[in-house]
Structure 1
Amino acid sequence: MASLLRLRSLSFFLAMVAVVVGTATAGGYYAPVFRATPWKQAYATFYGDETASETMGGACGYGNLFNSGYGTDTAALSTVLFNNGYGCGQCFQLRCVNSQWCYKGSPITTVTATNLCPPNWSQDSNNGGWCNPPRTHFDMAKPAFMKIAQWKGGIVPVMFRRVTCVRKGGIRFSFQGNGYWLLVYVMNVGGGGDVANMWVKGSKTGWISMSHNWGASYQAFATLGGQALSFKLTSYTSHETIIAYNVAPANWQVGMTYSASVNFH
């Protein structure tokens, strides 16, 4: 009887560990799942016009945000949040608070970080230098800003929190570089939305560590032409690691974007 009780206790403990750690991956291992963070205070402004044309080609390297799936629900982050590019792809919920320009009911909108709001050291941090460190600030695409406040308000106090990035399909890899240098922009990242480390594997090589270039791009100085390419990625936030096998065929080309069948949770 005592042995049976111990066995049941062990089974219950293992089940609880599985719940705490996360959900099961295809490989049978339990991976962490990103959780929303507590609400914090910040400020928000906007840039560009209603078309959001000025938000295209931001510092994260996503290029045309309509083609890459991010649309106009985007924001440029102050230096603190941008975190040397590791903040690229992260998703935030924002709502305007304590301002006459807030919409009634303080509606919530969700944006993806696609750009850097650089410091403006010629302006005081509380008067124009809104993105100067150590300020936490969101410079939103105008259509996104207009979902939480009247645009004529200019700058409004907000509450924000990190949330899970819900993406359709797998992670996308946009290739640049040449025969000896592969530069990859990582897009459509789910879960925490971010990437901490990345590796590439050719059909004739082992895993090659890629270094962080800038924004959402990673690079490998290696000759990988004529090989099918696989990628291994670790999330910056959840530390979850996934492998996308045979993402690009052996005849892959620079300038093309290739999609995986896997994504972060």
Structure 2
Amino acid sequence: MSLSAALFSLLLTTTLLIFMQNLVIDAACSDCFVSSQATYYPNSDEHGTDVGACGFGSFGATINGGDVSAASNLYRDGLGCGACYQVRCTNSAYCSDKGVTIVITDQGSGPGTDFILSKRAFSHMAQTSDAAATLLAYGVVDIQYRRVSCSYPYKNITIKIHEGSSNPNYLAFVIEYQQGKRDITAVQLCETQNFVCKLLSRSFGTVWTVNSPPSGPLSVRMLFSDEDGEDTWVVPVNNIPADWKAGESYDSGVQVNQ
């Protein structure tokens, strides 16, 4: 082999190794931090808002202790509702390394920001209460974020019947306490007696609706999808009772932890 051929072979091998290394890095980067900016709701109290684009209502204000946020691109037409993110600001003089874990409950954006946090969540990025006051005075801060698993100890996935529902004419519900970091991409409503299922429509956010719902006890089947394209149907242990009522919550009896 000539010297030029040997050099070409070495260069080709090195390029291939670098390419493969980059593939490994990209594959592992589902856990990598992304740089952005965050602000907070200036006119809110410490918690989130009772009115949000996800349709959570008062649940969206107090879930996760009130460490919640609106999102812009991460809202994903409602698919991102209920997703959890670790958010940490980058100023080492004021910000903790851990930051805060938030739940997406609303849609919104400020100039160049991915998150509009509750005041409580914004403050929890700081090292101390004095540092939190400084962060709040800044209003907008540089951050890093990544998606993480949601965790609701001792809670099963819960079906909350939306207040606008009317038995037996119209059924709308919200899925609450979803753990893990997969998305619910489809929902079916099934008659438990003959197991005929109907694919529901996402009305907005995390509100699923059906006109003229079937009578009798109902089962809600949920399709969980991860970022690798793996889909899994989850069928609750418990049913929605035939005499369901607007505003009531029903424990599904199951939880998804990944």
Q: Do the structures match in fold with TM over 0.5? A: yes
Q: Show the counterpart of 2:190.
A: 201
Q: Show the counterpart of 1:144.
A: 121
Unaligned stretches of 5+ residues in structure 2: 1-28, 127-134
TM alignment of 1:105-124, pairs within 5 A? 105-118=96-109
TM alignment of 1:25-36, pairs within 5 A? none
Q: Number of residues paired by the alignment? A: 213
In structure 2, what is the Cα distance between the partners aligned to 1:45 and 1:210? Answer: 35
Q: 1:240 aligns with which of 232, 236, 240?
A: 232
Compare 236-245 and 106-115 and name the one that shifted more: 236-245
Q: Which amino acid aligns with 2:245?
A: Q
TM alignment of 1:1-265, pairs within 5 A? 37-48=31-42, 51-52=45-46, 55-65=49-59, 69-78=63-72, 80-98=73-91, 102-103=94-95, 105-118=96-109, 129-130=110-111, 137-149=114-126, 150-168=135-153, 169-176=155-162, 177-178=165-166, 179-192=168-181, 194-205=183-194, 206-225=196-215, 227-237=216-226, 239-265=231-257
Q: Which amino acid aligns with 2:161?
A: F
Query: What's the TM-score once normalised by structure 2's chain length?
Result: 0.74
C-alpha RMSD over aligned residues: 2.4
Matched-pair contact (CA < 8 Å) for 1:81–1:136: no
Q: CA deviation at 1:254?
A: 2.0
Q: Which amino acid aligns with 2:207?
A: S
In structure 2, what is the Cα distance between the partners aligned to 1:152 and 1:260? Answer: 43
Question: For residues 134-153 of structure 1, what are the alpha-carbon distances to aligned partners after superposition, in whole Å with 9 as ceiling and x for unaligned?
Answer: x5511000011001142111
In structure 2, relative to structure 1, the CA distance for the partners of 1:143 and 1:195 (3 Å cut) is same
Q: Which amino acid aligns with 1:211?
A: S
Question: For residues 67-111 of structure 1, what are the alpha-carbon distances to aligned partners after superposition, in whole Å with 9 as ceiling and x for unaligned?
Answer: 873331100001x110100000000001111476x33x4342100
In structure 2, what is the Cα distance between the partners aligned to 1:106 and 1:90? Answer: 21
Q: Which amino acid aligns with 1:184?
A: F
Unaligned stretches of 5+ residues in structure 1: 1-34, 119-128
Larger Rg over CA atoms: 2
Query: What's the TM-score once normalised by structure 1's chain length?
Result: 0.72
Which of the pair has the greater relative contact order for Cα pairs under 8 Å at 6+ separation? 1
Identical pairs, percent: 25
Bigger helix share: 2
In structure 2, what is the Cα distance between the partners aligned to 1:243 and 1:59? Answer: 26
Matched-pair contact (CA < 8 Å) for 1:39–1:160: yes
